[in-house]
Structure 1
Amino acid sequence: MGRWAVRITVVLVLLVGGLVRTVDSTGETLPGAGSLESRLIQVADEVAAQGSASGLQLADDLGVPVAAGRVRVVLQPAARTTGEARAAVAAVGGIVEAEAAGLVQALVPGRALRALPSLAGGAVVRAPLTPQPAAIAGEGVAFTKVDVWHRAGLNGSGIDVAVIDLGFAGLAARQAEGEVSTSAVLVDRCPGRWESTDHGVAVAEVVQEVAPGARLHLICVGTEIELALALDYVKANGIAIVNHSAVWFASSRGDGQGPPGTPEYTVAQAR
């Protein structure tokens, strides 16, 4: 497909989270048992002791995403082959939401968390990485003096720009007010979370001010797997300009060389 000159604004900050190996009663690691993130162990124990509702509340308190009465997790198979992981999710009554870079994102019952690593053939099971919205600097036209280009007839016409963000709440209202073009292409890679924040709309407004003639592709993501799927869309549609105004904590070691599935790796693949 050739090299892609994709301009991405993203901050990746290193913060290592805890994973706990599955052990037997003697404290020995079980062969092929995989590992379960410590927060998920807490959730599993709470479900066992106090029930599902209490476990889901604890998950939310710990920053582990929940939806539809289940916990959102990422399975990282030992061999990066996802068939066994997908089968394990189905076996425990879970739902596979997305798959990319050898990782599987799923919603699973809290009661199934303990068993999931071994059922998935020794997979690492953890909460997904979740980004935080970055600050938005407005008044882009005045600051950059791009209005000079506008008066010369250069307004981004014929150019596609992707805005990969965490949500686009209030988009219809801003389109009705003429702040965001109604020709924008909407791409939902964040099931159930499109309205979670209006940050993406604010970013889109700034982009539209600077390049009023450009066609926007508004792509919603909320995990590292969804970010990888957004990149697939960007490449498939030949979009050379991308904005991702988000901060990813606990993503990798922070030197731009993250392994497959991390936001760093996705950004590197976009270049």
Structure 2
Amino acid sequence: KLESVLGRLAEEYSQSRTAAHKFAGQRSIPLENDQVRVILVPPPEEDASAIGRTTLVSYGVKIEAISRHLMRVRIPISLLEEIADKVEGISYIRLPYQPSSDMSSEESIKVSNSLRGSQVYPQQVFLGVISEGVELTGASDYHDSGYKGQDIKVAVIDIGFNNLTNSRNNGELPETVITKDFTGAGLETGRDHGTGVAEIVYDMSPEAQLYLIKIADEVDLENAKDYCIGQGIDIISHSWIWENTNFTDGTGLICDIANDARSKGILWVNAA
């Protein structure tokens, strides 16, 4: 039931604490007080409610987050194997997935934002400054005809919205943006990628209602998707890649999350 790298970590820890920490450092596995953050996966066709929470707590496990199908916890390294064997409702224990950025999309954001302020369109002075992409893509023609994203809800799901306050104060984003942080680390920590994406969305659809949602892993992503469904979101923008989480055939957990959003009427726009 243990991912092989976790099995090796438990084996190293049984030899010595030093050996375990050395191995964790080599594999870039964060440890805190001899605990490791992992994802608990229930059996197929089951959801996270099948996992024995009371038993986990009795082992000293810290439950950090629960989504419909997953649970993120911190487990003492010394108890990994025992918990895998004895706690009900667990079919697999693995490290969290980590989203990675598409560098070309990041460069596109940098280029777009570097052009911001170079041109101000008189008909849209309420925006302050607008990227040249609005004119180049023909979006300004739609704006002139009155199509500015009104009555549309757009969610940007990202791992960081640093400098969000500055963007609001400078008029690059409206004060009406709605924010949600599923990480607990604070919306304006980490990278500013999400802020850059949101600024572009705002330029292209200045009257759309923006939702900025911060995540860190697949548990947060599933919760963010369910939140979007509950909020009646029309479009999700998610410019991140989840490598090695499927066979690139449209199957797997991340694809299931996106497909569920689509089945509820949400257009999911993702980096490719």
CA distance 1:169–1:48, shift in 2 (3 Å)? farther
Quickly say closer, same or farther: Cα 1:184–1:150, change in 2 above 3 A: same
Match of 2:87 in 1: 120
Residue 185 of structure 1 corresponds to: 178
Q: Which moved more, 1:155-164 or 1:234-243?
A: 155-164
Query: In 1, Cα distance between the equivalents of 2:192 and 2:22?
Result: 25
Query: Which amino acid in structure 1 is aligned with residue 156 of structure 2?
Result: V
2:10 and 2:81 in contact (8 A); partners too:
yes
Shift of 1:61: 4.2
Q: Is the 8 A contact 1:77 1:85 kept in 2?
A: no
- The answer for unaligned runs of 5 or more in structure 2 is 113-132, 263-272
Aligned position for 2:42:
77
CA contact (8 A) 2:161 2:194 kept: yes
Q: Which residue of the partner structure matches residue 157 of structure 1?
A: 150
Matched, 1:224 2:218: yes
The alignment's C-alpha RMSD in Å is 2.4
In structure 2, distance between residues paired with 1:60 and 1:219: 30
Q: Assess if the C-alpha contact under 8 Å between 1:251 and 1:264 holds in 2.
A: no
Give 1:75's aligned amino acid: L
**Secondary structure at 1:249 match in 2:** coil
Q: Which residue of 2 aligns with 1:254?
A: 248
Q: Tell me the residue number matched to 2:57.
A: 90
- Change in Cα spacing, 1:127 to 1:215, as seen in structure 2 (3 Å) is same
Q: Is the 8 A contact 1:74 1:105 kept in 2?
A: yes
Determine if contact 1:36/1:124 at 8 Å carries over to the other structure.
yes
Give the secondary structure class of the aligned counterpart of 1:36: coil
Give the 3-state SS of the residue equivalent to 2:242 in structure 1.
Answer: strand
C-alpha distance in 1 between matches for 2:217 and 2:174: 27
Which of 202, 208, 213 lines up with 2:207 in the alignment? 213
Distance in 2, matches of 1:144 and 1:229, equals 33
Structure 1 segments unaligned to the other structure (5+ residues): 1-34
Greater length-normalized contact order (CA 8 Å, ≥ 6 residues apart): 1
Task: Give 1:193 deviation, angstroms.
Answer: 6.4
SS class of match (2:96):
coil
Q: Deviations over 1:160-186 (max 9, x none)?
A: 110011121221122222222221111
Higher helix share: 2
Structure 1, 134-143 or 231-240: larger mean CA deviation: 134-143
Q: Given that residues 42 and 50 in structure 2 are in contact (C-alpha distance below 8 angstroms), is that contact kept between their aligned partners in structure 1?
A: no
Q: How far off is 1:146 after superposition?
A: 0.9
Aligned identity (percent) is: 30
Contact 1:75 1:85 in 2 (8 A): no
Match of 1:21 in 2: none
Q: TM-score, normalised by structure 1?
A: 0.76
Q: What letter is aligned with 1:127?
A: L
Relative distance call for 1:239 and 1:84 in structure 2 (3 A) is closer
Return the alpha-carbon distance in structure 2 between the equivalents of residues 209 and 175 of structure 1.
13
2:237 is the alignment partner of 1:269 = no
* 1:44 is aligned to 2:10: yes
Q: Which residue of 2 aligns with 1:32?
A: none
Report if aligned partners of 2:63, 2:71 keep a CA contact under 8 Å in 1. Answer: yes
TM-score by length of 2: 0.76
